[in-house]
Structures are given as structure tokens and as C-alpha cells.
Chain A
Amino acid sequence: MTLDTKSFAEVVNTILAKYENDAAMLVGILQDIQSELNYLPRECLVMVSEGLDIPLSRVYSVSTFFKAFSLKPRGRHSLHVCMGTACHVRGAEKVLDKLQTELCLCAGETSPDMKFTLETVNCVGACALGPVVVVDGEYAGQVTTDKVKSILEGCK
């Protein structure tokens, strides 16, 4: 479904109502909007600012401060490479390099066909499995450079 501005309003209003338009719940509100739309469109941020009666600058400052938020649309498949210490000592950097090479993307970018978004995350709390790549919410553990291709092929 393609979401137009009208449905953006529906999404935002439902979420604002759930939190009773409480400005203290701004982080949670933005998280819910992002989990519905996959990113935070500008129109939604404006609606949130109006709905909560807080300056747009505050909504922007929060949505750019926290790494979990994206102001740009993200691809159908999200690849999060864990860069935590445990993953780092077991070669996460090499795995990220390989993914970047295979996808022709830098960390933080989305492919032009909107298929993949490659991101790094500081720790996903699965340190015993390092290096970890989270593919669409599923954890792939003990990833090595030679497993990267099969991970990408698994994303249909």
C-alpha cells in the first residue's frame, strides 16, 4: 500500500490518540510512527508538532538525536550489522566491508531500487553469537565474509 498524506494523518492521529497527545511520550510516538511507516516523513513530524503543541524544532531535535530514527525512506529489507565490542573483536568490520562491497552501499544508505537498507548498530545484545547481522529482525550469528552472499540471497 502506498501511503499518501491522508493516510499519514490517519497513522499519526491514531498514535497520538493512543498516547493521549502527551508530549512527554514523544520518543515513543515517533517510534510507533516509524514502525508503521518505516521512516519519519516530514509531514508526520509537522503533524506531531501540531498535535502535541510543541515546536517543530523540538520534534526534529529528538528525531535526529536518537539513532533509531530515520528521516529517509528505508528499503524493504533491513540489514543491521552489529558493531559491538564482542562482534568487533571477532571481525564485524570485515563483514560490514563485505556487505558494503556486495551491495555497493555505505552503512546508512538505501539501495536505489529500495530493496536494501544497510545500517550499523552499536550492540544488539547477542554478543555470544558475534559477529551478528540482523536481517529483517532475524538474527544471523557467527557471520563470516563467506556467509554474506547467502544472507543476501536469502532476502527475496
Chain B
Amino acid sequence: MDIEEKTLKRLNSPQELEALRQELQRASSAKSKTITICCGTGCLAYGGAKVAQGFKDEIKARGLENEIEVKTTGCHGFCERGPLVVIRPENVLYQRVKPTDIGEIVDTVKDGNIVDRLLYTIPGTKTKVAHEHDVPFYKKQMRLVFGANGYIDPTSIEDYIGCGGYTALAKTLYSMTPDEVISEVKKSGLRGRGGGGFATGAKWQSTQEAHGDTKYVICNCDEGDPGAFMDRSLMEGNPHAILEGMVIAAFAVGAHEGYIYIRNEYPVAVKHAERAIAQAEAMGLLGRNILGSGFDFTVKINRGGGAFVCGESTALMASLEGRVGEPRAKYIHTSERGLWDQPTVLNNVETLANVPLIINKGSQWYSGIGTANSKGTKIFSLVGKVNNTGLIEVPMGITLREIIYDIGGGIPKNKKFKAIQTGGPSGGCLPESRLDMPVDFDELTRAGSMMGSGAMIVMDEDNCMVDIARYFLSFLEGESCGKCVPCREGLKRMRQILDRIISGRGEDGDIELLEDLSETLTWGALCGLGSGAANPIMSTLRYFRDEYESHIREKRCPAGVCKPLITYNIVEANCPNCTLCIKACPAGAITGRGKKVPVVLDQSKCTKCGACFDVCRLNAVEVR
């Protein structure tokens, strides 16, 4: 506990919490403006920390501390345009802000003008958008869970309380019974956001009803799904919402101990969660006798070791117990026998962050959002070949086309959309014909993919679907714990077949063999990693079979990706001998022949590294 935590005053009743909230709101309204700077991982990589420090220094130097508040927040979602700065309450959004822009921005905050050159410009037009809510990326979103990220400092519990934080906890402890909490979550229709999509209320009920002296609540922030980072951003940007969800879950099932299992690769998330726990304990919102209600619940942090299989509940619990993260067959559910063989609730970060909303606004309000069997909103990470990459929160039922074109701004460089991969390594790739499909748990499954954790990776015509299938297989092969034969041997064999196809040695019958092995894995594997592993293969075979056939029969990679099947060539008409490619080539395969004469590429020396293709700005290098 550091000095700040020691000075936090303990709250002993909901009335004290409410009084503090009103005091905090009064203090914050005394300052007329707030400058929020996104310090999520994306913006930090673009220099967000320097911008944030610059603003603090500038405000101090001008003596404006009492009028303008500077706040570093978690991820705002629009990672593509970072570092992001938003002036509130007007919500003026500045993008790609550099430390040299700070003086000008502070001038305008004072006099009410806007710095035009830092505003977002709609691609392909000269239209500039001043306000955050008018930017197309944000316009169609419904940021119920993720929205607070842009407003609060994740290291300040006061910020969270000021925004209405911990009201759901007070309501739960003082005016609801555990059964009522479970019934409310059940009626809301909330399904687990971690991948399985299991009904959260039903899971809580079976843990509540299970026999056991001790019960546990675990928050899964391992997020091993490549392509997904919403759990990271929530834990980094709003850790108290997750803690609040955990305490409510604990109250509902009768648990007094909990764990947050966080990936070690997420150091900021670990730091912010640790700090949030210390602050909540100091204020009596966690630990013993929470808010004077007599209910006890403590939370510890456990850092994961970087194993994808630990996304499986039983493997995660084995790892928490200090053992190798191998899953077991779930003849007995973890809600009955989980951590140390005791009844355990395991929920994903996003699921828990939804809970305070449901308690505060009611199940009826919540279930009014979404589709028949998928309620509420879902945070997706929209990444890959799409103009506006980042995190988006949308109501269930929105179409893929709206996500990719309206929110994502379409495909860069006027390329053609080819596929969208959803649900991580256990999900599937959907083609253009599926773009008008509403996105929810059931529709995605019907289309041969899944919701998974919510990764959405957009691919254009330059991506090879056989290569993508091989990528997922080789990823899963490396991550398989090796405990069951279908997964250990099946994945290896499937990857070998795909390697052969990609290297031009594919044979007739390979596709059928892949289908056979996929079926064996789906039905025979011990855990979700293995049983879902066939999905990328099955979905690419279903929608992009012609690409497999081109590789096998014509020994050709239509997308120009698979190295053994492609060559790089110089397009003489476009090449003015600028020598960029000559400098980039590590193999000395490209030589110049004089001024304004096209260069020559010696195929016998070319290692197909693609360096020439990457540096050429004149389309003078092509892949065939």
C-alpha cells in the first residue's frame, strides 16, 4: 500500500459512498475543462506518454491547474489515429497529436477555438470532424462497457466513484439477495464473452447450488487469442468495473476469495489491477466487511505464463494451483469442482464488466439490446486490413458490413475485401457473401465461425486463405498441451499436409484427408483448443476451396503469398531505377543498368524476402 492508498478514507455504508460521490462531482465541476489523453498501449506506442507529460507541464507552467484538468486515460479504442486527445465536455477529438501541438491546443481550450489541422478527416474527402461522437468510427458504436475508458483515470478510484462506480455493489449488498442477483443476471440474457457463450446466470446458479466449504471467483484476463485485446484494454483502462463485477459475482454465489489471472505480457494491466485492489481495499469496497455489510471478499492477482491452452477453464485453474496448465475432461463442471476441487465461477473480463451495468440499469433494459439469444453489446477488436483499426463496442445483431465499412472505413489502398476471421484460432473465415449477416453468438456459429473472444481480422485480396489456415494450425500445434492424441498428433499431421500444399507438393486427396482429420479433432479432442482447432480449416475449405485447389492442382498461390509458389518480378514500364530496391535487397539479386533504365532481378539469387516489394513506391515490383 503506498501513501495515496493510506490516505483513502474507508467507507462504511452506501450513504457514505453516495456522499463521497457528490463531493467528487462537485470538485470536478469546479474545473470547466478536461483534457483527456489516451494512454492505451496503441497510443503509448505512438508517443502518448510524452504528449500527456507535455500537457501536464504546460498547464502547470501557465498556472491553469484550477481551471483545466489533465487526465491520462485507458484506451479510447481508435488506436489507428493515436495519440488521441479529447477536450471535454465538448468532446473535441484531436488525433496524431505531437508534443509540439500542445501549446496550440491549450490556447484553444482557453479561448474556445478548434485546431483544424489536428481534426479527423474522413478518408477520400476533405471533411473534417470536430467532435468524437461525429467521427464515423464512433458513430455506430454503443459504448456501454467500454465508454468509461475515455473518461476516467484508471489509477484513480475517485474517478470511478465519481462516474457512478460501485453503486451496483452497494445496491447488491444492501437491497438484493444472492438469488435476486442471479435471477437478474439470468433475465438479462448475459452470455460469457470469453468464447464459449455460456449463460452467465446459469453458471453462477450452479456454483451457488454446489456443495463446498469454500467457493472461488476467478476473472480470466489471460486473453491468449491472437488478434483480441479488449480484455487488456478494459483491465488497463477501467479495472474497478471488473472488481465491482467480481464482488457482485462473489456475493451471488457465496464466495469469499477470488483471483484475477492476467497474462504476464500485459504489465500495465497487472499494475493497474494491483493498484485498483489496494485502493478498493483501503476504501472498504473490497476485503473484509465490504461497505459495512458484513460481506467479505478478497482478490489476489496471478500472472499467467503465456500458454494459450490456459484459456481453457480447467487448464487455467491447474496453472493457478502452481501446476502445468493442462486441461482435464469436464465430466464434472468447474462450477462444482474447480480450483482446488471447490465450486468455482470463472468469468472473462468483459463478462464481469457487464455485471454492474445490469444491476444498475436492470435486466429489462439490458435485454432490450441485441438479438433474440444474444443480449447486450460486444467489444470487438477490428484489426488487419481495415482503415480504422481499434476496439469497437457494438450492439449484438449489427452486420459485418456495417462493422467493416461504416465503422472500419473499408479496406485500405482500394483493395478488395476477401475475408473476415472471427473468433480467434477456434473461429473461422467468412467471405464477402456473409457480410450482411447479423453478428451474434448463434449466427456466427451457423456460418461456420464463432464469437470467441471477439477478434475480427479483416483480410484483403493479398491474403492467402491456405496460408491463414496453416498459420492457425501451426499456432495451435505449438500451443497444444499434448495431453490427448487427436490434438497432439492430428494438428501436427494437418500442419504437415498444409505445409506440403503451400510448398507446391500438394496431392489429390489432401483436402479429403484434412476434412477427415478435422472431424476426428472436433469430436475426439479433450478440450476446446483441440475441438475448435478444425474450424479455420473447415471454414476456409467451405468458402475458399478454389484456393486450395489452385495450390494443389495448378501449383499456384492466387494471392501471391506462399513463397515456394511465387516469384517477384520487375515491371519495366514502372521502374525508373530509383535504386531503393537495390539497397533493400539482402541477397544482391537486383542490379541497376544505368540511369532511367529498369533494374534487373536475378531469380537464381532471389530469396523471396519481399524487401523490394515493400520499399517500391511505384508498383514496379510485382508478385506472380
A-B contact pairs, 7 of them (CB 8 A): A31-B303, A66-B306, A66-B319, A122-B224, A123-B223, A125-B229, A141-B42
List residues 94-151 of chain A with CB under 8 A from any CB of chain B: 94, 97-98, 101, 121-130, 132, 137-141, 144-146
- At the interface, yes or no: A27 with Cβ under 8 Å from chain B? yes
Say if the beta carbon of B103 comes within 8 Å of chain A.
Answer: no
Among residues 1 to 49 in chain A, which have CB atoms less than 8 Å away from a CB atom of chain B? 22-28, 30-31
Chain B residues contacting A145 (CB-CB under 8 Å) are 584, 609-611, 614-615
Q: What total count of A-B pairs have CB within 8 Å?
A: 170
CB–CB B265/A121 < 8 A? yes
Is B495 interfacial (CB-CB < 8 Å)?
A: no
Q: Does B371 reach chain A (CB closer than 8 Å)? A: no
Of A23, A65, A90, A130, which is within 8 A of B325 by CB?
A65
B152 an interface residue at 8 Å Cβ cutoff?
A: no
**Chain B CB within 8 A of A83 CB:** yes
Task: Report chain A residues within 8 Å CB of B391.
Answer: 128
CB neighbours (8 Å) of A121 from chain B are: 265, 306
Q: Considering the complex, give the chain B residue whose CB is closest to the CB of A122.
A: B226
Are the C-beta atoms of A27 and B421 separated by less than 8 Å?
no
Residues of chain A within 8 A of B304, CB atoms compared:
27, 66, 68
Question: What distance in Å separates the Cβ of A77 from its nearest Cβ neighbour in chain B?
Answer: 17
Q: Are A146 and B584 in contact (CB under 8 A)?
A: yes
B229 touches A126 (CB 8 A): yes
Interface bin, chain B: 35 or more
Given A24-B320, A127-B381, CB of A97 within 8 Å of CB of B305:
no
Interface residue ranges, B against A (CB under 8 Å): 41-42, 44-46, 79-80, 223-229, 232-233, 263-267, 302-308, 319-325, 381, 383-385, 389-391, 421, 424-425, 455, 457-459, 463, 468, 471-472, 475, 479, 481, 584, 586, 609-611, 614-615
**Choice from A22, A61, A89, A101 contacting B468 with Cβ under 8 Å:** A89
A67 interfacial contact with B, CB 8 Å: yes
Please state if A126 and B42 are interface contacts (CB–CB under 8 Å).
yes
Known: A65-B324, A84-B226, A88-B226. 7 other contacts (CB 8 A): A27-B319, A61-B324, A62-B322, A66-B306, A85-B468, A89-B457, A127-B381
Give the residue of A28, A87, A123, A139 whose beta carbon is less than 8 angstroms from that of B44: A139
* Interface, chain A (partner B; CB < 8 A): 22-28, 30-31, 58, 61-62, 65-69, 83-91, 94, 97-98, 101, 121-130, 132, 137-141, 144-146
Q: Which residues of B contact A90 (CB under 8 A)?
A: 384-385
